[in-house]
Amino acid sequence: MKIHIPGTGELNIENLLMDYNGTLAVDGRIMDGVKEKINELASRVNIHVITADTFGSVEKTLKDTDCTVFVLPRENQDLGKLEYLKNLGPEKTVCVGNGANDCLMLKESVLGIAVLLEEGLTVSALTASDILVKDILDVFSYLEKPDRLKACLRT
């Protein structure tokens, strides 16, 4: 997926790397419409969900979606997310998250998007991001309708 941002350049997006709790789900329950959007978008980008899986539900919840799920070990989750991003290629990966353990991946990705749901958003995740959205469906809309992204990011 290529998106030209006036004054900034071209984004060549191959991957979408998303946190789970607080980003795709609230209290371990995935938001309505998210699985459908993942499956629709999966033909255009590789979708990865990375999580500490606080509620132990991610693999069961996402088993019927076209995405890769990676559950992090308990220690150094921020570094684990960053390492996963580096393996994908930060220059071609959009990252989405809300927590302190998302900051490094948000900052290092080609485009970091912070999500503010009921579980909140850390200030550090906000400042590490390029964009703040009200929920994950906005992220999917950016990728489905790139002119929205252009309008937000152009200089």
Question: At a CB cut-off of 8 Å and minimum separation 6, what does 26 contact?
Answer: 117, 118, 119
CATH number at 60 reads 3.40.50.1000
Contact predicate 93/110, CB 8 Å: yes
* pLDDT (tens digit per residue) in 83-120: 999 999 999 999 999 999 999 999 999 999 999 999 89
Domain count of the chain? 1
* pLDDT (tens digit per residue) in 18-65: 999 999 999 889 999 999 999 999 999 999 999 988 888 899 999 999
Q: Which domain holds residue 63?
A: 2-153
